[in-house]
Chains A and B, each alone.
Chain A
Amino acid sequence: MQFFGGSEISPSPPVPTASGNNAYMLYVFNRNGVCLLYREWNRPLKTLNSHQDHKLMFGLLFSLKSLTAKMDPTCVDKGNLGVPQLPGQGCSFHSFRTNTYKLTFMESPSGIKIILVTHPRTGDLRESLKYIYNLYVEYVVKNPLYSPGTPIRCQLFDTTVDQYVRGLG
C-alpha cells in the first residue's frame, strides 16, 4: 500500500482473502481510557450507550490483562492482583473467542490499545492489528491537525481502516 509520502508500511499487510466483511467492530483506546476511535460495521444488538460501552470495553481489557498476567504459570515475579502494570510488560492476552465472536487485542508499550471484534472463525489477527497500528502512526500521529489524547476525526484514516478491515479473511 502506497501513501502520499511514498513509503511502504511495514510490516506489509497480510494478504486479504475476499470474503466480505468479517469484522464487527473496532475500538482504539489510549493509555488514559479515552476512546480514540470506534468503528462499527456489523452490530445488530446495542445494549449500552456509547460512553458506557467504551468504559465497559476498557474496563474488561484492563481486568483481563491483570488476570491473565496473574495466572501466568511461567512467570516468576507476580504482582498482586489489581496492581497496575506497565503496558506491554509481562504476559498479555491477545484474543478470546466465544461462540458468536472473536475479540483480538493489541497493546503497544505506549498504551495504545487496538481491539477488533470479528466473526469467530477468523484466524490470528495479531499481524493485522500491527498493521492497523502502523496506519494509526501514518495517518493520525503524523497529522499536525490531530492533538494526542483526543478522539480521532480523520476521514482518510477512517476510510483506509474500513478498506483494510473489509479485506480481512
Chain B
Amino acid sequence: MAPVAPRSGDAIFANVERVNAELFTLTYGAIVRQLLTDLEEVEEVNKQLDQMGYNIGVRLVDEFLAKSNVSRCVDFKETAEVIAKVGFKMFLGVTASVSNWDAEGTTCSIILEDNPLVDFVELPDTCQGLYYCNILSGVIRGALEMVSMKTEVTWLRDMLRGDDAFELQVKLLKQVPEEYPYKDDE
C-alpha cells in the first residue's frame, strides 16, 4: 500500500475541530492576566508562559504528526517550513513565513503577520518587559524536543511593543538521537 502523502495545512485545518477565535483569545488573555496577578514579576510570568508552552508542545507534537502525516524532516530547513506552513495553520489558522537563515542553516526566523492571541490586546506601562505570546516559543521548543532537536526560541520582534510583525528566532542547538535505554547488565 503506497504511503499516504502529507496533507497541507489548509486541508487539515478544515478537518480538525475548531473553537471560536474570540473565546480562545479572551481565555489566553485571562490566563496571562491571572499569571501577572499571581506572580507579579514580569520575568517570572515570561518563564511560566514558556514552561506552559513547553508542556503543551510535548503533547501537541503527537497530534500534529498523527493528523498531518509528515514523515521525518530531512533537515532543519524543512522542519522550519513545516512548522510555519503546516503547524501554525493547523493549530492557529494562520500561516507564518520563514526567513533570515544563517550560513549553517541552524538559525532562522519565523514571521507571523497575523496572530490570533493578541487580538484586542494592549500592554500597559507596568508590563513593558512582558512577552505576551511567550507560550508560542515554549510550544515550539517542546515539540521540537520530542523529535530529537534541542532548540532555543526567542522573540525578535513583537507587535505589542511597537514592531510591525511577530518574529520568532529558532536556533537549533543540537540533534539528540535515541540511545538504547537499557543498561546491558539489568
Q: Residues on A close to B: CB < 8 A? A: 5-8, 10-11, 31-33, 55, 58-59, 62, 83-89, 108-112, 124, 126-127, 130, 133-134, 136-137, 141-142, 148
Whether B62 contacts A86 by the Cβ 8 Å rule is no
Whether B59 contacts A148 by the Cβ 8 Å rule is yes
Chain B residues near A142 (CB-CB < 8 A) = 59, 63
Tell me the count of chain B residues lying within 8 A, CB to CB, of chain A. Answer: 30
Q: Which residue of B lies closest to A33 (CB)?
A: B181
Q: A7-B17, A87-B72 are in contact. Are A108 and B62 (CB under 8 A)?
A: yes
Q: Which residue of B lies closest to A62 (CB)?
A: B180
Whether B58 contacts A148 by the Cβ 8 Å rule is yes
Residue from B147, B178, B186 with most neighbouring chain A CB atoms (10 Å): B178
Whether A86 contacts B59 by the Cβ 8 Å rule is no
Looking at the complex, which one of A55, A84, A88 makes contact with B182 (CB distance below 8 Å)? A55
Q: Does B146 sit within 8 A of A, measured CB to CB? A: yes
Whether B178 contacts A133 by the Cβ 8 Å rule is no
CA distance A110 to B66 in the complex (A): 10
Looking at the complex, which one of A58, A88, A127, A148 makes contact with B71 (CB distance below 8 Å)? A88
Whether B175 contacts A86 by the Cβ 8 Å rule is yes
Whether B182 contacts A11 by the Cβ 8 Å rule is no
Looking at the complex, which one of B17, B67, B73, B178 makes contact with A84 (CB distance below 8 Å)? B178
What's the least CB distance linking A96 to chain B, in Å?
Answer: 17
Q: Which residue of B lies closest to A108 (CB)?
A: B65
CA distance A55 to B72 in the complex (A): 25
Interface residues of B in 32-69 (CB under 8 A from A): 58-59, 61-63, 65-67, 69
- With A85-B177, A110-B65 given, can you name 13 additional A-B contacts, CB distance below 8 Å? A59-B182, A62-B180, A83-B177, A87-B178, A88-B71, A108-B62, A109-B71, A110-B62, A110-B147, A133-B65, A137-B62, A141-B62, A142-B59
Whether B182 contacts A33 by the Cβ 8 Å rule is yes
Chain A residues near B69 (CB-CB < 8 A) = 11, 130
Identify 8 residue pairs between A and B in the complex whose beta-carbon atoms are under 8 Å apart, listed by A's number. A10-B67, A86-B178, A111-B148, A133-B66, A134-B67, A137-B67, A141-B63, A148-B58
Q: Which residue of B lies closest to A112 (CB)?
A: B62
Whether B17 contacts A6 by the Cβ 8 Å rule is yes
Chain A residues near B17 (CB-CB < 8 A) = 5-7
